[in-house]
């Protein structure tokens, strides 16, 4: 597949009252301390599998950008690394890790607009 392989992280702040789905190119690493400063939260950690199921209706290893549409309450903040937009398409799981789709960036933007899902672009 030609699209950029992505890393999808479901994280929470220390209090557990804010949840984030981070989408980034898979060869990048994330500095949680720096990211917590950018997001203006006390600290960040991976959310539990129970939270992942509760908020995005998926399991660890299967989470992808597409899962954000299952968050009908808008409880999860979508964060996309700016470098994703340098690619013409990305790879992502269609609600299961047994398959991978290649979706054009324009298609992702249209999907998020259709579901009225705002996102924040940051440099990771």
For the beta carbon of residue 45, count every other beta carbon within 10 angstroms.
12
- Rounded Cα–Cα distance for residues 6 and 106 (Å): 16
| pLDDT score, position 124 | 85
**H/E stretch holding 50:** helix 49-56
pTM equals 0.92
Q: pLDDT band at residue 94, thresholds of 50, 70 and 90?
A: confident
pLDDT over 80 (residue 84): yes
| pLDDT score, position 61 | 84
| pLDDT score, position 42 | 86
Half-sphere exposure of 46 (CA within 13 A, CB side): 10
| pLDDT digit string, tens, across residues 103-121 | 999 999 999 999 999 999 9
pLDDT over 80 (residue 15): yes
With helix as H, strand as E and coil as C, how does 96-115 read? Answer: CCCCCEEEEHHHHHHHHHHC
| pLDDT digit string, tens, across residues 23-80 | 999 999 989 999 999 999 988 999 999 999 999 999 888 899 999 999 988 999 999 9
Which residues, in sequence order, are CB contacts of 89 under 8 Å at separation 6+?
2, 3, 4, 102, 103, 104, 105, 107
pLDDT over 80 (residue 1): no
């Amino acid at each position: 597949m030609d699209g950029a392989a992505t890393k999808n992280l479901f994280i929470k702040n220390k209090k557990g009252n804010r949840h984030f789905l981070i989408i980034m190119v898979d060869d990048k690493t994330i500095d949680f301390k720096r990211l917590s400063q950018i997001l203006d939260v006390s600290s960040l950690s991976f959310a539990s599998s129970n939270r992942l199921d509760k908020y995005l209706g998926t399991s660890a290893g299967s989470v992808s950008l597409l899962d954000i549409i299952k968050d009908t309450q808008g409880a999860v903040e979508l964060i996309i690394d700016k470098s994703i937009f340098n690619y013409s398409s990305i790879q992502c799981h269609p609600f299961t890790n047994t398959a991978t789709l290649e979706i054009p960036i324009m298609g992702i933007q249209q999907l998020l607009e259709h579901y009225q899902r705002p996102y924040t672009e940051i440099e990771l």
